[in-house]
Amino acid sequence: MCRVSLIYPHEGVHSRVTRYGRRHSHDRCRRYGRPTPAVGAIDDVVTALHYAARCCSAKDFVILCDSAMNHGKLTEAQLRTEFRHSPHSIRRLIDKCDKLAGSGTETAARLRLRAAGVTVEVQHHVPAVGHIDLLVGERLAVELDSRDHHTGVTNYESDRRRDRLLVADGYIPLRLTYGQVFRHWEATYADIQRIMRQRIHRRRAG
């Protein structure tokens, strides 16, 4: 019996089987430990995360956990409890999750920056502007678009207003697209390194 699990969209749809279906299907998603009994056609979020932990990449698993917490599907305490008996590698990934992350693009950028040793603050609040996705140092305000192109008159005007206010407050706004994070990260990070080498990101904003 096959059942659909919630998996990060860009990898397509994954499915899993109960223990009775394993003999007929060897290429489906599996979880650590005993298979979860089937109670419906669609898995709940917690069950889907258990299967994603073994089936997805580390990055995609953290993205899924971040999204689940951000949308109120479970708390950080519940997430830790659910995976308390998981392999050490999975529990280490749970430590990297952040309920404040607003998109998968933001999570991916955060993980890659921190893996490179960069100090990053998530959802830093700036008066009159609101929350910025990631703050590097004291001034580099990194905003992540969840799609390749952030289109629409309303979004365009809002983004430019935010950038103007950030500059007025002494921040350096840096907008990154989905493609720059997921497909061209090497070039993207090289530019971020150039900014950090000048150390202007460490000068406190006004």
* Strand bridging mode 172-176 / 140-144: parallel
- Which pLDDT tens digit goes with each residue over 175-206? 999 999 999 999 999 999 999 998 766 666 55
DSSP string over 145-163:
-SSS---SHHHHHHHHHHH
Show the domains of the chain with their CATH numbers: 2-95 (no CATH), 104-202 (3.40.960.10)
Single pTM value for the model: 0.83
Q: Are 162 and 173 in contact (CB under 8 A)?
A: yes
Q: In what order do the strands lie in the sheet with 130-136?
A: 120-126, 130-136, 140-144, 172-176
- Which pLDDT tens digit goes with each residue over 121-155? 999 999 989 999 999 999 999 999 876 445 555 67
What pLDDT does residue 11 have?
A: 55
CA distance 178 to 152: 17
